[in-house]
Structure 1
Amino acid sequence: MDRAGGERPSGSGPSVRRAQRRLGGPSAVPGRDPGGDGRRAHLPVASPQLRREPLTMANHDVAIRVENLSKRFRIPLDRSATLKHRLTHWRSAARYRTLEALLDVSFEVPAGQFVGIIGHNGSGKSTLLKILSRIYRPDAGMVTIEGKVSPFLELGVGFNPELTARENIFLSGAILGLGRGEIHQRLDEIIAFAELEQFVDHKLKNFSSGMEVRLAFSLAIQAHAEILMMDEVLAVGDAAFQQKCFDIFARYKREGRTVVLVTHELGAVTTYCDRALLLDHGRLVADGDTADVTGQYRRAIGLAADGSLAATEVERWGSRDVVLTGVRILDQRGVEDRNPPTGGFVRVELGYRILSDAVTDFVCVLWLMRADGLILSESALPVSQYARVGESQRGAGGTIRFDIAQLPLLDGAYSVDVEIQERRGTGVYDHLKHAINFRVIDRRERHGAIELGGTWSVVPTDQTAGSPEPFVSPQWVGPDERPGLSRL
């Protein structure tokens, strides 16, 4: 057991504890690493603040335990551009502001669990991962880790650009704890996974950033570790290489390794993770099933986007004989909701007021628009069919409602355009472009624009009057052998 960050005076501050093997008995050698690899271990002086329950077989199932973890950074407000400035202002006190990166975070990760950590930029995800990897020391709280950790944080750090890919593999492999013979055995596999067979003897300084990161990822996955910390590794390479990364995740899950994944790719979290944590400005705000947590994050993104959606400039024109006084989107309870769920009830509510005695009838037209300007739907209502509109109605008003029992839209940003026009369509009284903006949340994370609401069924062949003719020959036809296609 050793405390991350070196020794600290007893009775002060937190610690990061890594328990590889239990210490005790005459075989324990003071000052030596209990794992037996010859490295020095800093053993803290016993004090009430550092005592913890000894690890027993009952809690060996917990791979990572985080208790009341906090981390803050001091950000300087004054910058001394020159040495002369520092020498001539040596008595001036530097000013700082405090950034609370993590605030009282607590959770446990059982051995073999695949955990995803999500949140907006600056929420503390990478800081948490660096504390778990013993790169940062916490300001408060305790971290206990059972097993060897392999961090995938800054891929490619430690590579020497003046060395070839082959030489960097041996150098970085040794840092990961791989023997030279073991690297020799895996060399072809590493190069093939990184798709660098033709560049293995080229210097790294001639590589593109994508080639370098692919090599770093291919090497990092060779480490022998029970716990893997991954920070934004899905940003590696093109779609084909990312699919290979997904295959690695699937393999880790089959092998029962403990994986902590920090990513913005919510689809990967839902597919591979057993559990998700949501961080918001350093606080753990959600911990649970991946579908529930990612859904909460999507709703939070939608709420945050309300400001930018509301800031969209509204274009307005018309004679103003009839004006729209308000546009709202409501849920089934009558509460305004700019983030309706797919399949949920939605009501578009419009307020209007007549400002001219010449108005005898009018039509309300509503267009549902996608964020890219595509018109998804148009609906029109002659208002006189539902409300009294005639001469001498100046000053009268009312509310027009358009109800959607089950919203068919999937994830995305949308807007509503509204127009009040003369009954015969010869004039426009009031037109609002981008009258209201909203974002739809699909908790099932389906692809596409709409949910068709269709139903599936399967009818066995022996229960039908006759089998339908097959669409293609029973013999598989490859894409290069279809009629009308020539091989490139």
Structure 2
Amino acid sequence: MSEPAVRVTNVSKHFRVPLDRSSTLKYRVTHLRSASRYRDLLAVNDVSFNVGAGEFLGITGPNGCGKSTLLKILSRIYSPDSGRVRLAGRVAPFLELGVGFNPELSARENIFLGGAVLGMTRKELATRVDSILEFAELEEFADQKVKNFSSGMAVRLAFTVAIQADADVLLMDEVLAVGDARFQEKCFDVFSDYKRHGRTIILVSHDLSALNLYCDRVLLLQKGHLVADGPAADVTAQYRRIVGAMSEADDHEHDPDDAMVAENRWGTREVEITAVRLLDDNGNQHTSFATGGGLTVAIDYAVHSDVDDFVVGLAFKRSDGINISGPNTRTADSHVRASGPGTRGTISYAIPHLGLLGAKYDITAAIYDGFLNHAYDHIEDVMSFRVVDEKGRLGMVDLDGTWEQTVDGQSRAYGRAG
């Protein structure tokens, strides 16, 4: 079995974060006691993993989880407080593209300057200038000053120079967050070629689609801990569940009942909505749900006057205002009877398999008379909920279709589209 290209063993790193803003000498002199107050931040906590030669490893996690700190430890910018790091071969860290560039120089001159920072000779660079400019799509701007470039042009040049390094291990921190999709595709073609030649790539990114598409394996960090290490699809799905749980926790900090007395409510209240609850398959209240799982909207009501049959309706819309659906009891041929003043009840709308894809959604709840002319109680955007799609599919809804392949007259079904 070959030796790992990267070996990280029980690595930890902490920082002292000042609690006071001591940016000036005057402040430090006049606040001697407060200027010495700090809190300890454990950015990376006892992390261990190996990366094989030629492996494409992704690292992801919420902001502040320690991703960039870990990458800087691998780059030898930071030294770990404890643990060991071993990297086999030459390492090229792409943490900040364009380091060493001079905006007053032309693209051609900066190729030689940036290449020198990477340890390349002028003779080596001279043979690559034309191919670098071609890959960066800057042939027409070779002799223009970089300060006149757009941000996309500058990034293309910086990245193309950076990948000239003859390294065994490439470390990248969100370097593909800018640039158009076509250029990103070209970059990943380069990475695929690196893999074929046995080079190791470690990419820190929030782009879960890119991690799924290109990475052999993904690490998931949370609060400095390594909480998952496995196939890209499995780990990114776990990350989406974590994000959904974090969003739900944030939602609980804001009482959904606040909407019950908000300005976006109207009606005469002969029948009043007393609560709106979102329930999972087990009847537990949540504000985060999974695509394909169950969701039930329970509307609690109280009848205050002698009214006839009434209609209960809902409206679902995405947070950007796009209307998704507006079911109500009338179109479902369900007659809701008031049963006289003082009656309390619950009307539930159950979705056994939620087809919505990942996004935030708003719900409007309303009760009208049987002809939908008179509003008893109408609450616009009474609640919000999030949908987490573990597969990270694009679009608005899962169409629940199936794929089928036919070869030489023989058909093979692949199940749901997913």
Q: 2:55 aligns with which of 98, 101, 113?
A: 113
User: 1:376 maps to what in 2?
Assistant: 324
Question: Larger Rg: 1 or 2?
Answer: 1
Matched, 1:444 2:391: yes
CA–CA distance in structure 1, aligned partners of residues 85 and 267 of structure 2: 64
Q: Which residue of 2 aligns with 1:31?
A: none
1:118 positional shift: 1.0
Q: Does 1:216 align with 2:158?
A: yes
User: Is the CA contact 1:361–1:384 (under 8 Å) kept in the aligned structure 2?
Assistant: no
5+ long unaligned stretches in structure 2: 411-418
Deviations 1:447-483 (A, max 9, x none): 22112222344567979xxxxxxxxxxxxxxxxxxxx
CA distances 1:126-149 after superposition (whole Å, capped 9, x unpaired): 111000010011112221222221
CA apart distance, 1:112: 1.8
Helix, strand or coil for the counterpart of 1:157? coil
Q: What are the superposed Cα offsets for residues 24-52 of structure 1, whole Å, 9 maximum, x if unpaired?
A: xxxxxxxxxxxxxxxxxxxxxxxxxxxxx
CA separation in 1, counterparts of 2:50 and 2:145?
43
Indicate the SS of the match to 1:210. helix
Asked if 1 retains the 8 angstrom alpha-carbon contact of 2:28 and 2:35, the reply is no
Matching residue's letter, 2:216 = D
Question: Would you say the 8 A contact 1:363–1:420 is kept in 2?
Answer: yes
Distance 2:295 2:22 in 1: 57
Report the Cα offset of residue 198 of structure 1: 2.3
Name the residue aligned to 1:322.
271
SS in 2 for 1:379: coil
In the superposition, relative to structure 1, how do residues 91 and 235 fare at CA in structure 2: closer, same or farther (>3 Å)? closer
1: CA distance between counterparts of 2:397 and 2:84?
47
- Alpha-carbon shift at residue 152 of structure 1 (Å): 0.5
CA–CA distance in structure 2, aligned partners of residues 92 and 361 of structure 1: 68
1:168 match: 110
Aligned to 1:153: 95
The aligned counterpart of 1:203 is: 145
Q: Are 2:375 and 1:428 equivalent residues in the alignment?
A: yes
Per-residue deviation at 1:162? 3.6
Kindly indicate whether the alpha-carbon contact (under 8 Å) linking 2:309 and 2:335 is maintained by their aligned counterparts in 1. no
SS in 2 for 1:188: helix
Could you tell me which residue of structure 2 aligns to residue 139 of structure 1?
81
CA contact (8 A) 1:299 1:339 kept: no
- Over the aligned positions, Cα root-mean-square deviation in angstroms equals 2.7
Which letter maps to 2:375? V
Say if 2:41 is the partner of 1:99: yes
Q: Does 1:410 align with 2:352?
A: no
> Shift of residue 199 of structure 1?
2.5
Q: Which amino acid aligns with 2:329?
A: L
Q: Secondary structure at the match of 1:298?
A: helix
Asked if the contact 1:67–1:141 (Cα under 8 Å) also holds between the matched residues in 2, the reply is: yes
Larger relative contact order (CA 8 Å, sep ≥ 6)? 2
Q: Which amino acid aligns with 1:441?
A: V
Structure 1 unaligned spans of 5+: 1-57, 464-488
Change (3 A) 1:453 1:105: same
Would the aligned equivalents of 2:310 and 2:337 in 1 still touch at CA under 8 Å? no
CA offset at residue 79 of structure 1?
4.0
**TM-score (norm. length: structure 1):** 0.75
TM-score (norm 2): 0.87
Q: Aligned pairs, how many? A: 402
Distance in structure 1 (CA, Å) of the matches to 2:31 and 2:55: 54
Query: Is residue 243 from structure 1 mapped to residue 185 from structure 2 by the alignment?
Result: yes
Residue 228 of structure 1: aligned partner: 170
Per the alignment, residue 414 of structure 2 pairs with: none
Contact 1:362 1:384 in 2 (8 A): no
Q: Does 1:285 align with 2:233?
A: no
Structure 1 residues 158 and 95, CA, compared in 2 at 3 Å: closer, same or farther? same
Calculate percent identity across the aligned residue pairs.
53
Q: Distance in 2 between matches of 1:86 and 1:446?
A: 53
Which segment is superposed worse, 224-233 or 321-330?
Answer: 321-330
The CA deviation at 1:295 is 1.5
Question: 2:142 & 2:333 partners in 1: Cα distance?
Answer: 77
Aligned-partner residue type, residue 300 of structure 2: G
* Pair 1:365 & 2:307 matched: no
For residues 458 and 209 of structure 1, what CA distance do their matches in structure 2 show? 44
- Contact 2:57/2:202 (CA < 8 Å) preserved in 1? yes
One-letter amino acid of the structure 2 residue matched with residue 255 of structure 1: H
Question: In structure 1, what is the Cα distance between the partners aligned to 2:32 and 2:311?
Answer: 75
